[in-house]
Every structure is written in C-alpha cells, then in structure tokens.
Amino acid sequence: MNAPDDIVADAGAKNPLSETMLAMDVANMLRREPTLDGPDAAARLAAIYESIGMAVPETALQDGVAAHRDRRFAYTGAKPGFAATLAGIYVGRRRWLPATTAIVLMLVIALGGYFLVYKPYRDGQAERARVELAETLPAEMDSLYGTIFEETKVQQASNDAAGIRDRGKAAAQQGDRDGAEAAVADLTNIRDTLRQEYRLTVVDRPDAKWGFWTFPKDNTDATNYYLVVEALDPDGKALSLPIPDEQTGKTETVSLWGIRVPENVYRAVEADKADDGQIQHTLVGVKDFGFLEPAFVVDVLGGTVTRW
C-alpha cells in the first residue's frame, strides 16, 4: 500500500532540515580541525563519515564546507558598547542583584535616618542654642540684675551686677555661650550672697582650734594672728562658704576658716578662753539680708585662710 500524499510531503519537508544539520556538523568539524580544510575537503570529510558508518550526501558536504569558509554557522559575539554592557549586566543579575539591593536598602535607611531623624535633631539643637543665646540667657541676666537691684542695701552689689550683666549680654551677642553662662552664674552668686543671713562666731569646741598664729612667708619677722570662725544661719546650722586663702591664692568652699585679726583681738580671745575654758564673747560679725559682707564687731585685717 502506498503512503498517503500528505505523509510523503511531510517526509520531503524533513530532508532539507537533515541536510542542513549535516552541513552544520561538517562546518563544525572543519572549525575544530582546520587542517581538514583544503581543495579536497569534501572528499576527506566523506571518508571520515564513511569510517563511522554515515553516508553524507555530496550536497551536504559541499554546503558545510562553504558554510565553514564564509562563517555562516560561526558565532560572533556582540560588539562592545552600551547596549552590550547593559545586556551583560542584565544576564548576570543573579550575581549582583542581591548585594546591590542590600546596599541600596542600607543607603536608603542611612539617608532616611539622617534627613528624617539626625538632621532635624541637630537643627532643633542649633535653633534652641540660638534662642537661648539671643533670648533666654539675656532675659535671665536682666531678671537676676533686677532682683539684685531691688534686694541690695549696698550700692556696690548693683554696680557689680550691672557690669556682669553687660559683659554677659555682649558675650551672648558674640555667640560666646561660656561667657554668657558665666555671667548668669556670677549674678546668681551675688543674689544668693545678698540673701544670706548668718552670725560669724569664733569656734569654741574641743574638736577644733579657736585660733592660731603663723609667720608670713614674705616677712618672717612678722606674725599673723587668726581666729577660727564659722557662719551660723538663724537656725544655728553652719554654712559652707567660698573663702579665698591668702597663702595659696585659691578659693575653697569650707565651713571653718581662719580670719586674720590684730594681735590685741587675738590676745583678748585667748584670755577669755583661759579664764574658765570657754569663750564668752564669740561673736565676730553679723551678715544681714541685702549685704555682701558681714558687719564686724571686732577689728579684722581682712585676710583669710582655709588651711592651717
């Protein structure tokens, strides 16, 4: 029985494809073995194919040789260029995409943190500092000066406060925060000093000296006499005050210190103590509200020491 016409037609359609495949194989063999190429290339290739049991049509051999020579089946890579570079990047995306995504995400988080959190925070700090220098600190200086002016009973306090306030405001205008804050601290100290009330008394108890004498370093022929004193508030509590030491030049906050007095005052207290073991007249001075210094009831020479 003869095959239907459509099957014969289909078989005929496959022959060109088979010869094309054979021609490609021939071209590939010549590419791998260039020494086979020559005038008798087709004959030599036919012998090779026959040796492995394949009968290759002459047309396939000639077509394969021709294809090899004009590089019909040869692969030609893409020429370097922008499009080729993009294509290469796209093809290799599995290698670079995860790391690139992670880096981009880190950059987004970092930039977001900077612009959304850190920068607004720093800008806010800068603005607060500006407002503090331009408004808050000068206003605090004015307020402290006003309090000092109203509460002082000595002109020196208001004069000192005015000078400190003016210097502090000038520092604030120049952006000198330390200078402005120092002015506020000095004004606060004057205000607090004016508000203090205490009695300055000679110490008279077994655990402390009541007085002592020394030879000054710059004049060993002289003698300095000191009474050891303390400041007692209206409730009888000893205060700690900043006291300059005339021997060291330093200021220390202490509750006991020595105040230099004439020899006759020192001897009077010494005699009082020797009389019955107690000092009857311990009062040295009184510090009232509104004053910077105590009013002394005995003669003093002004010098003080914090260590002996």
The string of pLDDT tens digits covering residues 259-295 is 999 999 999 999 999 999 999 999 999 999 999 999 9
Dihedral sign, CA of 84, 89, 94, 95?
positive
User: How does residue 11 score in pLDDT terms, banded at 50, 70 and 90?
Assistant: very low
Q: What is the DSSP letter of 249?
A: -
Q: Do residues 244 and 253 lie in contact, with contact meaning Cβ atoms separated by under 8 Å? A: no
Q: What is the pLDDT of residues 194-236, one digit of tens each?
A: 999 999 999 999 889 999 999 988 787 889 999 999 999 999 9
Q: Are 154 and 194 in contact (CB under 8 A)?
A: no
Q: What percent of the chain has a predicted confidence (pLDDT) above 70?
A: 92
Let me know the angle formed at the C-alpha of 100 by 98 and 106, rounded to the nearest 5 degrees: 105
Instruction: Say if residue 4's pLDDT is above 60.
Output: no
Helices (H), ranges, the chain: 5-32, 41-51, 58-69, 82-91, 93-113, 119-131, 137-151, 155-173, 177-195, 263-276
Average pLDDT over residues 147-175: 96
Give the pairing of strands 257-261 and 238-239: unpaired
* Average pLDDT, rounded, for the chain: 86
**Whether residue 109 has pLDDT greater than 70:** yes
Sign of the torsion formed by the C-alpha atoms of 153, 157, 163 and 165: negative
Ordered by start, the domain boundaries in the chain are 5-69, 96-195, 198-305
Please provide the DSSP assignment of 205-224 as one string: STTS-SEEEE--TT-TTS-E
Tokens of 25: 């194989």
Distances (CA, A) of 182 to 75, 127, 168: 84, 21, 8
Alpha-carbon radius of gyration of the chain: 54
What is the rounded distance in angstroms from the CA atom of residue 228 to the CA atom of residue 254?
12
Partners of 225 in the β-ladder: 213, 261
Output the six-digit token pair for 16: 């060109």
| pLDDT confidence of residue 281 | 95
- Among 199, 192, 201, which residue's Cα sits nearest to residue 292? 192
Taking the CB of residue 230, how many other CB atoms lie within 10 A of it? 22
How far is residue 252's CA from residue 230's CA, in Å, rounded to a whole number? Answer: 14
Report the distance separating Cα 80 and Cα 88, nearest Å: 10
pTM of the model: 0.59
Q: Whole-angstrom Cα distance, residue 280 to residue 126? A: 61
* Cα–Cα dist 291/294, whole Å: 7
Compute the distance between CA of residue 15 and CA of residue 35 in angstroms, rounded to an integer.
29
Give the pLDDT confidence score for residue 294 in this predicted structure: 96
